[in-house]
């Protein structure tokens, strides 16, 4: 018989032991999937293309933005994905909106802060979601993120994403 009178499988292993072992293996598998499975998208057999990426932010620390140089590499600080190489940077007064005493909302500028447009050249592939995959991560216009450009870190938003040429 497969199970004897004492409830042991083949006379050696208890059914309870097997259930505990199955639960333990399922738990380990769940932890593995949660912590070690990649969250990135990896396209298969898709040709890399060159894209122009625009980064913009209304109000960033002037010292950080002014440290950016043409040729610096820009990356998504939180995800680690390389977004591209800086080809152009335009710096202007910061833009913030404040409410006046009479209730109007007016555009203002904050000392020590600037707005910027940084243009990047990047290599990526089109995604199924309408964006572009850079370094295994999917990006779309409007995505806000913390960016590291050269040695500086500040906030940025993708405002341009188009195929070069």
3-state helix, strand, coil in the chain (%, to 5): 15, 50, 35
Structure tokens at 136: 């295994």
Evaluated on CA atoms 17, 18, 24, 28, the torsion sign reads positive
Closest CA to 117 of 64, 157, 83, 147: 157
Q: Along the 165 residues of the chain, how does pLDDT read in single tens digits?
A: 566 677 666 667 777 777 888 999 999 988 887 777 655 555 455 688 999 999 999 999 999 999 999 999 999 999 999 999 999 999 999 999 989 999 999 999 999 999 999 999 999 999 888 899 999 899 999 999 999 999 999 999 999 999 987
For the record, the structure tokens of 74 come out as: 């820009």
Reference 114, options 55, 57, 62, 154; nearest CA is 62
Cα gap 14→10, rounded to integer Å: 9
The whole-number pLDDT of residue 124 equals: 94
What is the predicted pLDDT for the residue at 62?
A: 95
Q: Give the pair of three-digit tokens for residue 12.
A: 């050696």
pTM of the model: 0.68
């Amino acid at each position: 018989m497969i199970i004897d009178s004492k409830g042991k499988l083949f006379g050696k292993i208890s059914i309870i032991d097997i259930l505990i072992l199955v639960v333990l293996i399922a738990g380990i598998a769940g932890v593995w999937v949660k912590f070690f499975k990649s969250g990135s998208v990896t396209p298969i057999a898709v040709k890399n293309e060159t894209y122009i990426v625009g980064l913009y932010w209304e109000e960033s620390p002037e010292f950080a933005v002014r440290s950016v140089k043409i040729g610096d590499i820009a990356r998504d600080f939180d995800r680690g994905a390389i977004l591209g190489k800086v080809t152009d940077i335009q710096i202007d007064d910061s833009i913030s909106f404040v409410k006046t005493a009479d209730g109007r909302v007016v555009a203002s500028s904050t000392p020590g802060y600037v707005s910027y447009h940084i243009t990047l050249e990047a290599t990526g592939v089109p995604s199924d979601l309408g964006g572009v995959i850079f370094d295994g991560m999917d990006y779309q216009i409007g995505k806000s993120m913390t960016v590291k450009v050269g040695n500086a870190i500040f906030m940025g938003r993708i405002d341009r994403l188009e195929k070069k040429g």
